[in-house]
Amino acid sequence: MRTVLLTGFEPFDQDPINPSWEAVKALDQTLIKEDVRIVSRQLPCVFSQAPTRLLDLLVSFQPELVIAVGLGPGRTDISIERVAINLNDARIPDNLGEQPIDTPVVCGGPAAYFSTLPIKAMARALKAEGIPASVSQTAGTFVCNQVFYCLQHALTGSGVRSGFIHVPYLPQQAGLAPQPVASMSLATQVQGLRVAIITALETVDDLHETGGQVS
């Protein structure tokens, strides 16, 4: 049985839920194909702990595909990330109160890593299903980016495809926000991840079409 590893984050910033974990958890143990099983695990929203937990999961499950998922507050769609940068610059403290500013994710590591997922094919497949999606050019500088960078760093040269996806708030979170904010139902997020995984498994070469932004 082949394994797809999905990770989501615990709640952070005083929020009681994190849609990335809720969506990922819903797919745990799903047979995405007859010989491909999804394993979902939660990561701490803690700079000092998340990379170690991620590496332990890679060793334990030896997956052939890895997609880390995180909450993108203010995102309007399922955002498939293109690049992780070697920078921690936390706008808020993590769940242990740590707030690294202008520090490298990996000392001496390259400035950036690109996703090895077929990101444009995934975005197109999601939109074909009526699910809002796009290629994103920034994963931020919080724990999401740190995990994305560490994931790509760990799997460089392994042949294992990997990357990161941001999901929006859930409607119940948006309803509590002090001002209007985009959201997406949990069912849509779960279906979006399912489509993204299948596309990643079935697509050898990514599409050659625009996925960039003017600014």
Among all residues, which ones are annotated catalytic?
81, 144, 166
Nearest in space to 147 (alpha carbons), one of 16, 211, 58: 58
Q: What is the pLDDT of residue 199?
A: 98
Is residue 213 situated within a structural domain? Answer: no
Q: What is the domain-level CATH number for residue 11?
A: 3.40.630.20
Is residue 207 situated within a structural domain? Answer: no
Number of domains present in the structure of the chain = 1
Checking phi first, is residue 47 left (phi over 0); if not, alpha (psi -120 to 50) or beta? Answer: alpha
Q: What is the pLDDT of residue 215?
A: 60
Walk across the sheet containing 2-9 and list its strands.
Answer: 31-33, 36-43, 2-9, 65-71, 161-167, 78-81, 133-136
Is residue 214 situated within a structural domain? Answer: no
Residue 103 bridge partners (DSSP)? 88
pLDDT tens-place string over residues 38-58: 999 999 999 999 999 999 999
pLDDT tens-place string over residues 77-96: 999 999 999 999 999 999 99
Is residue 51 situated within a structural domain? Answer: yes
Nearest in space to 29 (alpha carbons), one of 40, 14, 45, 42: 40
Is residue 69 situated within a structural domain? Answer: yes
- Tell me the residue range of the domain where 162 lies: 2-202
Is residue 144 situated within a structural domain? Answer: yes
Q: Alpha-carbon distance 107 to 85, whole Å?
A: 12
Is residue 215 situated within a structural domain? Answer: no
Is residue 211 situated within a structural domain? Answer: no
Q: Three-class SS of residue 126?
A: helix
Q: What is the pLDDT of residue 102?
A: 98
Q: What is the pLDDT of residue 214?
A: 66
**Which of the residues in the chain have pLDDT under 50?**
none
Cα–Cα separations (whole angstroms), residue 165 to 27, 51, 133: 15, 17, 10
